[in-house]
Structure 1
Amino acid sequence: MIKGKSWMAIVIALMLLTVHLTSSAQTVHAAAGEETKIAATLFVLKNESEVSNAKIHWAPVQGATAYELYRSENNAPYTLLQTLTGTTTDDYELNIGNTYKYQVKAYAGTSLLTSAVSPECTPYSLPEDLTTFDNTTQSTLKLPNELKVGDTYYRFNFVQKPTGGFGEMIQQTSTDDITYGDDKVVLSYTDHPDLANSKFEGINILYHAPTNKFVFWAHYENSTDYTLARVSVASATPGEDFTFHKSFRPEGNQSRDISIFKDDDDSAYLISTANNNSDTILYKLTSDWLDVDHQVSVIYQNQHRELPKMIKKDDIYYLFSSQAAGWYPSIPLYSSATTIDGDWSELRTIGNTSTFSAQSGSVMRVKPDTGNNVVMVAYRWMFGWAGTQNGTTEERLLPVWFSDGYAFYDYFDQVLYHTSDDVVVPVQNGKLLSQGKPATAQTATGTNPASYANDGNYQTEWVGTGSSWPHWWKVDLGSVQQLNNVQISWWMQKGSEGFYKYKIETSTDNVNWTVALDRTNNTSYGFTSDNLSNTAARYVRINMQNAALHNNPNNWYTPRLWEVKVFGSGTN
């Protein structure tokens, strides 16, 4: 991690170990490709009992000016649902038990560029006894502890010295993965000269069955700075003390953000950011996982990616990462490969441009090892955000769906899940009412009209002219609708990130306006999700009062928006 993400990063890493194992402008540096893939995930509308709605995403196609979306039910011929310029839409009120596939066709004018068909999906009734992850408040994903040997579960906590830096690694055990105790110090700063004045980040602890060892890998630094850029490795027989083996630079390369990926054949790989986080390098570990065997490839060069996390899905490798941006929300990207030592795809966009006010984080199966459902746990380092009163760190849970080398995720206020049954159900607060509806703004450039902010594409933006504030953007829903939720993807400048003070205003006649929600106290960067109550309107106006930049008292931003989504219980 970059300089500054020290012990708080360790706390978050350990939360994942003890919870997941136990319980220039902001430009997207990823071009559209010449092909596309399409995938759909099923979701439930809030307070309903049928998982009978599909959120459909497809990859943007270079040169495409429009997309046609088709649907097939029970393998019947495809029928046209809609023509649109965006890359996502919803399909509602599907029939329980029937099977659905979607086809997208990309056009440049009247010329067909390419097409793709989605994997099949089957709507179902909402299961009982699901756990709720609430993205609107501090929540924790509770997954089974994978560090189980025999009948004993193990987890590890880390304690700092009073003077700072690594102090002790404490082992706890359990027989039911619920109650943990029998605290035991299994590694201390006095055990090895390298530990006397050190800190760990990006901690990975895995069980290596052939040698019956826990293997520990982490980013290693001095307790006071980030000049070493090393990895560190230690190991232990379960229940016994750890042996710290060494800290080193793999093949002489700097190493900061790291993760360990275990493949199906039990070979393991170190994924490491190098050269001040400008490069991402893949190394294969030795068969006992205690050292680097050789460098496999430089996956990214001069891309400045952080927090690399890999997962294998349907025999394809996916690598997710965040943009280097300090503590602030940043652009998520991913790439894929059919073989781990082969060529990787170009970096591709996913989600919106701020990871929905977070940074790309861990990617994992809800049912460890064998599960089909995958989620992204994105990190909100809010204690490092200027201007916010929330000095904590939170997680955002983003369900991930895949199609032949392409990955997609989107934001939902709540996500329901059940680990042993491998169930993930996103919950959406109403139907999407605003996409493709007539939009206007106080001003707009000729190349970035108001319609770009509700076209169903997180990578296109409305841009106003000049820097006059306040500034408004407005959508006409076509008729009076009951409104439930408004989601806004805000523009930010990398290095000068800012949050917006705004009001959501509504009207039934486009003349008389009511402030439905005053958010001039907002301090969230990059993305907001606001729930509304007792609000019926035809017109919705985002009245941007000001933007507060974390490193400049003056707001020099040009008013602009990536995407506005208005949800409600009216007709779509």
Structure 2
Amino acid sequence: MEAINKNKGVLMLALLCWFSGLVSAQKRDTIYPGGIWPDNNGNHVQAHGGGIIKLGKTYYWFGEYRAKDNEPHLRYVGCYSSNDLTNWKFRKKIIFSDPENLGSGWVLERPKVYYNKKTKKFVMYMHLDDRAYKYARVGVAVSDKVDGDYKFVNSFRPLGKESRDIGQFIDDDGSAYLVFESRPTKGFYIAKLSDDYLTVEKVTSFIQAPLEGGAIVNYKGLYYAIGSALTGWKPNPNKVATSKSLEGPWSEFVDIAPPQTNTYQSQSTMMIKVAGKKTTTVIYMGDQWKPSTQWDSRYLWMPLEIGDGKLSLPEPRPWKLNIKTGEASF
């Protein structure tokens, strides 16, 4: 009898695990800021410090793949796809080995992918560094497919400047830009990419403010630039400035949320503009980092209150996005 009860217990546990996995992998209609974000397999999305591109009706999310069982000498980039920005399908774990003999603990952070219509290539930029953060370069990798095997091409310091945190921006006219923080110049650059996207062509703007995590959006003819202070993994009050042109001049930076919240314990990585049939929603993409358990770091996505030169991040709460109409609801 004891053996039968034991077997029943094992069976019940197995059924409970199966049901939990089934529920977590079911289609969702709600985004939960700061919560576990399961992909189609029921695993927490691993796309930290990420960026998003849209091809046709499909969004692709790339970011740092920081699973607990990662090999320590390798670096990984996660690739996911979605048609609604809520349900994400795991596409690929892109693997990089040390490309330039940077040694143990080398760094690959904030990967961003661009699609070049002329060359029909997918170009990935990444922050490439050594453990001491002295290398301070961008790395470039290329693939023929969005979820293909990205081949490392080279690394460089854009415009001869140190580069750590990077961001991406694609303007409404399709022009592609790299945003990068340069510690010695105490500010961040917005730089136009070359025609093939393999290098930086010229400086578009230098914003002299010691900020990283640069994110930009063009909303109703005005540019909004967000950045966070240089406090490492520790969150801080993110700030925003505006300009009528990417070239500037830029306004003074102001807080996007009550400063005591430290941007609700998040750091900016990108802003996504969703233009629907009824309205346009701009989404703040932020990371809630957990340095000692990186695999459990969370994502804070919220629709921004934006317009007339003002931008603010509301207090996080569950919300829904209608991708067709562009409407966000709570």
Tell me, yes or no, whether TM beats 0.5. yes
Q: Deviation digits for residues 116-141 of structure 1, max 9, x if unmatched?
A: xxxxxxxxxxxxx9822234643479
Deviation at 1:237, TM superposition (A): 1.6
Q: State the 1:206 CA deviation.
A: 1.7
What is the one-letter code of the residue matched to 1:337? S
Unpaired segments ≥5 residues, structure 2: 1-26, 40-44, 46-51
Please say if residues 34 and 288 of structure 2, whose CA atoms lie closer than 8 Å, have aligned partners that are also in contact: no
Query: Structure 1 counterpart of 2:139, which letter?
Result: S
Alignment-derived partner of residue 542 in structure 1: none
Q: Please give the alpha-carbon distance, in whole angstroms, between the structure 2 residues aligned to 1:211 and 1:264.
A: 20
Query: Given the superposition, is the C-alpha separation of residues 295 and 136 from structure 1 closer, same or farther in structure 2, using an over 3 Å criterion?
Result: closer
Aligned residue in 1 for 2:319? 415
AA of the residue aligned to 1:411: E
Q: Cα 1:276–1:391, aligned 2, differ >3 Å: closer, same or farther? A: farther
In the TM superposition, residue 247 of structure 1 has moved relative to its aligned partner by: 0.8
Q: How does 1:111-510 map to 2 (within 5 A)?
A: 131-135=29-33, 137-139=35-37, 146=53, 148=55, 162-166=71-75, 188-189=96-97, 193=100, 198-222=106-130, 224-238=131-145, 241-275=149-183, 278-300=186-208, 303-353=209-259, 354-366=262-274, 372-383=280-291, 392-426=296-330
How much does 1:305 deviate?
1.1
- Contact 2:168 2:270 survives alignment (8 Å): no
Structure 2: distance between partners of 1:393 and 1:361: 14
Asked whether the equivalents of residues 262 and 268 of structure 1 are also in contact (C-alpha less than 8 Å), the reply is yes
- Report deviation, 1:393: 1.7
- How many angstroms apart in 2 are the aligned matches of 1:203 and 1:251? 19
The structure whose Rg is larger is 1
Map Cα deviations across residues 424-456 of structure 1 (whole Å, 9 max, x no partner). 113xxxxxxxxxxxxxxxxxxxxxxxxxxxxxx
SS in 2 for 1:411: coil
| 1:383–1:391 CA contact under 8 A, matched in 2 | no
CA deviation map 1:437-492 (0-9, x unaligned): xxxxxxxxxxxxxxxxxxxxxxxxxxxxxxxxxxxxxxxxxxxxxxxxxxxxxxxx
Q: 1:151 to 1:299 in 2, by over 3 A?
A: closer
Q: Over aligned residues, Cα RMSD in angstroms?
A: 4.0
For the structure 1 residues 271 and 170, does the alpha-carbon distance in structure 2 shift closer, same or farther, using more than 3 Å as the test? closer
> Is contact 2:227–2:238 with CA below 8 Å preserved after alignment?
yes
Q: CA 1:378 to 1:268, structure 2 compared with 1: closer, same or farther past 3 Å?
A: same
- Aligned-residue offset at 1:324: 1.8
**1:74 paired residue number:** none
SS of equivalent to 1:211: coil
Q: Matched residues in 1 for 2:295 and 2:100: separation? A: 34
The answer (yes or no) to whether the contact 2:62–2:112 under 8 Å persists in 1 is: no
Distance 1:425 1:336 in 2: 26
Give, in whole Å, the separation in 1 of the partners of 2:211 and 2:132. 21
Equivalent position amino acid for 2:32 in 1: D
Report the Cα offset of residue 352 of structure 1: 0.9
The CA deviation at 1:276 is 5.4
Distance 1:402 1:220, change over 3 A: same
TM-score w.r.t. length of structure 1: 0.43
Deviation at 1:313, TM superposition (A): 0.6
Aligned-partner Cα distance in 1 for 2:234–2:58? 42
Counterpart of 1:89?
none
Measure the CA separation in 2 of the matches of 1:130 and 1:152.
16
Deviation at 1:286, TM superposition (A): 0.7
**Alignment length (residue pairs):** 286
- Structure 1 counterpart of 2:24: none
Q: Which has the higher helix share?
A: 2
Equivalent residue number for residue 569 of structure 1: none
**Deviation at 1:373?**
0.5
Distance 1:236 1:134, change over 3 A: closer
- One-letter amino acid of the structure 2 residue matched with residue 348 of structure 1: V
- Write the letter of the residue equivalent to 1:133: I
The Cα of 1:367 is off from its aligned counterpart by 5.5
Q: Which runs of 5+ in 1 are unaligned?
A: 1-128, 427-572
Change beyond 3 A, Cα 1:370–1:321: farther
Structure 1 residue 323, shift from structure 2 partner: 1.6
Q: How far off its partner does 1:399 sit? A: 2.0
Q: Secondary structure at the match of 1:355?
A: helix
2:232 aligned counterpart, secondary structure: coil
CA distance in 1, matches of 2:58, 2:37: 29
Tell me the amino acid that sits aligned with residue 237 of structure 1: D
What is the CA–CA distance in structure 2 between the aligned matches of 1:136 and 1:179, rounded to whole Å? 19
Is contact 1:152-1:175 (8 Å) kept? yes
Residue 149 to residue 139, structure 1, CA distance change in 2 (3 Å)? closer
Give the TM-score of the pair, scaled to structure 2. 0.71
Q: Which residue identity does 1:422 align to in structure 2?
A: G
Residue aligned with 1:356, SS? helix
Asked if the contact 1:147–1:153 (Cα under 8 Å) also holds between the matched residues in 2, the reply is yes
Aligned counterparts of 2:256 and 2:58: Cα–Cα separation in 1: 40
Quote the Cα distance in structure 2 between the aligned partners of 1:268 and 1:178.
25
- Aligned partner of 1:476 in structure 2 is none
Q: Distance in 2 between matches of 1:178 and 1:365?
A: 18
CA distance change for structure 1 residues 255 and 234 in 2, over 3 Å: closer, same or farther? same
Q: Which amino acid aligns with 1:232?
A: G
